[in-house]
Amino acid sequence: MVHKAQSGHPGGSLGCADFFTALYFEIMDHNPNFQMNGHKEDMFFLSNGHISPVWYATLARSGYFPVSELATFRMIDSRLQGHPTTHEGLPGVRVASGSLGQGPSVAIGAALAKKMNNDPKLIWVLCGDGELQEGQIWEAAMFAPHYKLDNLILTVDWNGQQIDGANDDVISLGDLEAKWKAFGWDVTVFDGNNMNEVVQTLHQAKNKTGQGMPQVLLMKTEMGAGVDFMAGTHEWHGIAPNDQQLQDALKQLPETIGDYSINENK
Partner 1 sequence: MSWDTFQPYDKKATREGFGAGLHELGKNNDRVVALCADLLGSLKMQAFKKDFPERFIQVGIAEANMMGIAAGLATSGKIPFTGTFANFSTGRVYDQIRQSIAYSNKNVKICASHAGLTLGEDGATHQILEDIGMMKMLPGMTVINPCDYQQTKAATIAIAEHNGPVYLRFGRPGWPVFIPEDMPFEIGKGQLLKSGSDVTLLATGHMTWYALEAARSLEKEGVDAEVLNFHTIKPFDYELLLESTKKTKALVSVEEHNRFGGLGDMAAQYLAIHQPTPMRFIATQDTFGESGKPTDLLEKYGLSPQHIHSAALSLMNRK
Which x/- pattern, by CB under 8 A, does the window 173-212 give for partner 1?
A: ----------------------------------------
DSSP per-residue string spanning 17-51: HHHHHHIIIII----SS--TT-TTS-EEEESSGGG
For residues 234 and 173, the answer to whether their CB atoms sit within 8 Å is: no
What is the distance between the alpha carbons of residues 158 and 224, in angstroms, rounded to a whole number?
A: 13
By the rule CB under 8 A, 112 interacts with partner 1: yes
Among 66, 116, 244, 254, binds partner 1 (CB under 8 A): 116
Stretch that binds partner 1, among 4-12, 25-33, 87-95, 201-209 (CB under 8 A): 87-95
DSSP per-residue string spanning 52-103: HHHHHHHHHHTTSS-GGGGGGTTSTT-SS-SS--STT--TT--S---STT-H
What is the distance between the alpha carbons of residues 177 and 156, in angstroms, rounded to a whole number?
A: 11
Stretch that binds partner 1, among 2-10, 38-46, 56-64, 236-244 (CB under 8 A): 38-46
Cβ 40 to partner 1, closest distance in Å?
11
By the rule CB under 8 A, 88 interacts with partner 1: no
Assign 254 to helix, strand or coil.
helix
By the rule CB under 8 A, 37 interacts with partner 1: yes
- The candidate with the shortest Cα–Cα distance to 97, out of 48, 57, 56, is 48
Stretch that binds partner 1, among 85-93, 167-175, 213-221, 254-262 (CB under 8 A): 85-93
CA distances to 123, 151, 221, 256 from 226, rounded to whole Å, are 28, 32, 11, 11
CA distances to 18, 38, 67, 94, 181 from 90, rounded to whole Å, are 23, 15, 13, 9, 36
Pairing of strands 43-46, 123-128: parallel
Among 6, 25, 68, 99, binds partner 1 (CB under 8 A): 99
By the rule CB under 8 A, 98 interacts with partner 1: yes
Among 142, 171, 182, 253, binds partner 1 (CB under 8 A): 142
By the rule CB under 8 A, 71 interacts with partner 1: no
Stretch that binds partner 1, among 71-79, 112-120, 190-198, 214-222 (CB under 8 A): 112-120
Query: Whose Cβ is closer to partner 1: residue 137's or residue 198's?
Result: 137
By the rule CB under 8 A, 76 interacts with partner 1: no
Give the footprint of partner 1 on this chain (CB under 8 A).
36-39, 45, 85-87, 94-99, 101-114, 116-117, 135-136, 139-140, 142-143, 147
